[in-house]
Chain A
Amino acid sequence: MGHWLQILVLGLLLGGVYAMMASGLTLLFGVMRVVNLAHAAFILIASYLTYALFEGLALDPMISLLVTMPLMFGLGVGLYLLLFPRIEDSPRYVEMTVLLTFGLALIVEGLLTFTFTGIFRSVRPEYAATSVTIGEIFLPTSQLYASLISFALLVLLWVMLRFTKTGTAIRATMQNRAAAQIVGVNVRRISALSFGLGMSLAGAAGSLLSFMFPFFPARHWQWIALLLALIVLGGMGSIKGAVIGALLLAVASAFVTDVIGPTWSPITFYLTLFLILLIRPQGLFGVKVRL
């Protein structure tokens, strides 16, 4: 019993971080109908930045969040302004965004390989090797911290979307872009902002992942497949769905790892992705959008 509870808790901790990684992706899809294949590549930029700050200035990865988040926000707004006005009116817009972000992911991967080489990196602050024990359950300190920060950021995001004027405008744009425009929402500004917001969440995720898992430039393909599985399960564009999908799948993969072995745990994500796309493409909480 204690063993299963242990696995459940580990799965939930990991799920918290996955939820934050996925929330940025699903936000982008919700507001702009962009399937951002480069999301995990952007997360990786932040991981390497955190690595550089840790090696160079011995900056704690959790503090480097304060650097990576605004930087990635700026990068996001910049990329939006540079790329998206050009393709907005394309008749195959959604498909274009997939290919475009695919190209971006290749660029990022290549630049990271060029700068940091292809070998495994990891950030090892003191708490990376310690753990906390509650009753008979043990929690790795790094995962506990990462999970707590992720949930805090998710709550912040929720408060912002729920209770601020900008948040309301973002939600309106998600529901109906044209109608939002009619009632006076500047959808371009909201889109740029959402892109920045999604990217700053990617920045936070990158900093947190840097001390949880070893990483290398081509790693982002595994992560993006994982993230897509989460948000497809939860329903693309639904942040609530992304959180629940993340927790469900993280727990499921933790059990698969325990029962079958770690090699096969990614299969949880790929198979889910496949099955959900076939059986219920709108996901658990998604509205049925014509993709």
Chain B
Amino acid sequence: MAVVDEREGLLEETPGPKSGTMSRRVTLVAGLGLILLFPLIAIPLFDAYAYVLQVGMLILMWIAMSSSWNIIGGFAGYISLGHGVFFAIGGYTAGLALAHWGISPFLFLPIAGLTAMAVGFLAGLITLRTRGPAFIVATIAMLFLFLLWFDNWEFIGASSGLDLPLFQFPVRWLKVPFYYAMALCAIGAVYLSYRVAHSKFGLGLRAISQDETKAEVAGINTRWYKVWAFALSAFFIGVAGAIYGYSLTHLRPLTFFAIAVAARMVLMAIIGGRGTVAGPVLGAILIIGVNEFAVRQLGESALNIVFTGLILVLALLFFPQGIVGSLRKARRLPAFLDWD
């Protein structure tokens, strides 16, 4: 797989402490190996096979979403609660292409991502004229505007939704292509996040997050940095939306626009460590893992959303830097988690 090779090559060039490079490379190979071989390892599970792959796909999806959100919300420090919009744009772009032209969403993924990115660029041009809490409020308004539009747009099925034809594949293995598509998406998103973190662009974003005025004085074109960060953060969320929507075979606006979707991206990034590369990945694994366990043990209930809120509040009060941030501060961050 091309993506794998590229990523390994990149790590070799990365300057940094020698010991860290070695252990990071081991993590990388182990992590990628696990992701790619997981559908094979899980075969003996028979009855639970579809479920296990579904959970695996969800974890990968949230890794992609929260890593992408982290580009604007973590690196640049601009908290967006409206990223559900890009999830929806991706899902509906691919869904419409399938429903109207019969193009498989798997082939349409790059276009779904680019469409989300284009919308992100335009939305960024407007919302990023505000700062701090005004920006957060503007992104919420953006989310509701799009929801209202999608809910009343007959062409895409309005609030009752859009039915997609089923993916023709043996039922036993139905989840496998979705899993691999999402794996590709997650690897791409983390790779993007890594590249941003290790670029001049990423350095500029961090400067903006610390003190925007000083960053501007230092010669950073803050406006374009922020708008591009916003647009980039939309790309893989759109791709994830396209895959996820296809796996559901029925697109409804609320599936994508629910405030809980946006809340989760934020929560995962904060729990794991905002503004770090490994943080959102850890956060996604942790939150989805705990959530699936809770749903299996206690059943799906409204208490799920209570826990989401509770964890967010507790994390903000006691743990604002997240796992990676806190460990780094205590100088206890294991090298294999240090991707920055």
What residues make up the interface of A, taking CB atoms closer than 8 Å to B? 35, 83, 86-87, 90, 92, 94-100, 102-111, 113-114, 118, 217, 221-222, 224-225, 228-229, 232, 263-264, 266-267, 270-271, 273-274, 277-278, 281, 291
Among A103, A111, A281, point to the contact of B313 (Cβ < 8 A): A103
Complex contact A274–B145 (CB within 8 A): yes
Complex contact B144–A225 (CB within 8 A): yes
Complex contact A99–B301 (CB within 8 A): no
Given contacts A270-B141, A270-B148, contact A94 B133 (CB under 8 A): yes
Interface centre among A94, A228, A229 (most CB of B within 10 A): A228
B227 to chain A, nearest CB (A): 14
Task: Look across to chain A and name the residue whose beta carbon is closest to the beta carbon of B309.
Answer: A106
A13 to chain B, nearest CB (A): 24
Complex contact B260–A102 (CB within 8 A): no
Among B142, B259, B266, B303, point to the contact of A274 (Cβ < 8 A): B142
User: C-beta contact mask, B113-136 vs A, less than 8 Å → 1, else 0?
Assistant: 000000000000010011111101
Interface centre among A105, A267, A277 (most CB of B within 10 A): A277
Given contacts A225-B140, A273-B141, A278-B129, contact A107 B309 (CB under 8 A): yes
Complex contact A114–B132 (CB within 8 A): no
User: CA of A267 to CA of B134 in the docked complex: distance in angstroms?
Assistant: 19
Among A110, A228, A267, A281, point to the contact of B304 (Cβ < 8 A): A110
Interface residues on B, range: 35 or more
B71 in the interface, Cβ–Cβ < 8 Å? no
Q: Which residues of A lie under 8 Å from residue B303 when comparing CB positions?
A: 110, 114
Complex contact B316–A96 (CB within 8 A): yes
User: C-beta contact mask, B289-321 vs A, less than 8 Å → 1, else 0?
Assistant: 000000000000111111111101100110010
B112 in the interface, Cβ–Cβ < 8 Å? no
Prevailing SS type, chain B contact patch: helix
Of the A-B pairs whose beta carbons lie under 8 Å apart in the complex, a sample of 20, sorted by A's number, is: A35-B133, A87-B317, A95-B133, A98-B136, A102-B266, A104-B309, A106-B308, A107-B313, A108-B309, A111-B302, A118-B302, A225-B140, A232-B134, A263-B152, A270-B148, A273-B138, A274-B145, A277-B129, A278-B130, A291-B130
Query: Across chains A and B, which 8 residue pairs bring their CB atoms closest together, nearest first?
Result: A106-B309, A110-B306, A113-B302, A103-B312, A110-B305, A107-B309, A103-B313, A114-B302
Complex contact A225–B309 (CB within 8 A): no
Q: Which residues of A lie under 8 Å from residue B141 when comparing CB positions?
A: 225, 228-229, 270, 273-274, 277
